[in-house]
Amino acid sequence: MPGPIGVFDSGYGGLTVFREIEARLPQYDYIYFGDNARAPYGPRSFDTIYKYTLECVRHLFDMGCRLVILACNTASAKALRTIQQHDLPGYGPGYRVLGVIRPTTEMIGRITRSRQVGVLATVGTVQSESYVLEIHKFFPEVQVFQQACPMWVPLIENNEHSGPGADYFVEKYICELLEQSERIDTIILGCTHYPLLLEKIRRYVPQPIRLLAQGEVVAERLADYLERHPEMEILCRKEAQRTFFTTETPEVFDANARLFYGKDIRSRHFELK
Ligand code: DGL
């Protein structure tokens, strides 16, 4: 039976990806699932992120989803491969989980000219080395420089990202990245929260350097995936319905979600056992 496409994030960040997916593929049904009660995932261990992500993916499958997008780099970096290799086979062929790192890395070689790329991400994503490994799979000659930005998600989640306090940490991490190489010409915003800091990031990144946010890239690759996989496409219901779940308080989620999603939403609470 066809079901909605599931979109998962630790909290709000995935909404920056979801809004692009929805703009590109409005005909499908979607369930957005934010695990706000346990966010941020960034500083957590591999085992914890895997356990939390798998639990949320299972809930989305129980709600009828056949295809789930991990719209979270940290979950894509630390949980996706194990879920794909270890857990999905138990569900059978009509279930898929996709992440956001692969689509971004696939196209990076077409963008960078200097063959030196920067990645700004959470501690978890940086430690996993997923961006380095994935980029090297497609473009072995590209050098990847990573910088963890542990203060950015908390600043955004606490709605402090536009204030003057955020400038200190934005400048700090960007300087630390750019000190690693003078030839970086492209920087990946490797966390779905970071588009909210784009204006400030731009202020501290020299103009010729290109900043790559993931929303449009992921949406484009998903459209391409559905075209190439008609057996999955027919399992995605097309009634243009959207449902939002948060594992925390819906009123708080709705009040903050606008910043990430650009529209008002009405979420429902999902009780974690
Ligand atoms: N938005 C998530 C990501 O893309 C990270 C947020 C968190 O630390 O939970 O990595």
Expressed in angstroms and rounded, the spacing between residue 191 Cα and the centre of ligand 1 is 6
pLDDT score for 92 = 86
Same domain, 26 and 127: no
* Catalytic residue of the set 72, 149, 175, 236: 72
**Neighbouring-strand partners of residue 211:** 187
Same domain, 145 and 200: yes
Same domain, 222 and 93: yes
Same domain, 114 and 87: no
Write the CATH number for 9: 3.40.50.1860
b/e for 238-261, b at 16 or more Cβ within 10 A?
eeeebebbbbbebeebbebbeebb
Q: Is the CB of 76 under 6 A from ligand 1?
A: no
Same domain, 260 and 208: no
Is 65 annotated as catalytic? no
- Residue 262 belongs to domain spanning: 5-99+216-269
Spatial separation of the C-alpha atoms in residues 153 and 267, rounded to whole Å: 21
Burial class, 154, CB count within 10 angstroms (exposed 0-12 / middle 13-18 / buried 19+): middle
What is the enclosing helix (H) or strand (E) of 128?
A: helix 123-128
Q: Is the CB of 192 under 6 A from ligand 1?
A: yes
How far apart, in Å, are the Cα atoms of 142 and each of 46, 107, 110, 127, 139?
27, 12, 11, 19, 6
Same domain, 72 and 49: yes
Same domain, 231 and 139: no
Write the CB contacts of 268 (distance below 8 Å, at least 6 apart in sequence): 243, 244, 245, 246, 250
Task: List the one residue out of 10, 12, 6 whose CA is nearest residue 252.
Answer: 12
* Catalytic residue of the set 56, 65, 149, 191: 191
Same domain, 220 and 210: no
Q: What is the pLDDT along the chain (273 residues), one digit of tens a residue?
A: 899 999 999 999 999 999 999 999 999 999 999 999 999 999 999 999 999 999 999 999 999 999 999 999 999 999 999 999 999 999 988 999 999 999 999 999 999 999 999 999 999 999 999 999 999 999 999 999 999 999 999 999 888 999 999 999 999 999 999 999 999 999 999 999 999 999 999 999 999 999 999 999 999 999 999 999 999 999 999 999 999 999 999 999 999 999 999 999 999 999 998
pLDDT score for 72 = 97
Is 191 annotated as catalytic? yes
Q: Could you tell which of 7, 8, 10, 17 is best to mutate to test the pocket of ligand 1, judged by most ligand atoms within 8 Å of the CB?
A: 10
- How many domains would you assign to the chain? 2
pLDDT score for 95 = 97
Same domain, 128 and 93: no
Same domain, 139 and 109: yes
Same domain, 106 and 194: yes
Q: Is the CB of 191 under 6 A from ligand 1?
A: yes
pLDDT score for 157 = 85
Same domain, 106 and 205: yes
Tokens 């080395």 belong to 129
Q: Is the CB of 44 under 6 A from ligand 1?
A: no
Expressed in angstroms and rounded, the spacing between residue 230 Cα and the centre of ligand 1 is 30
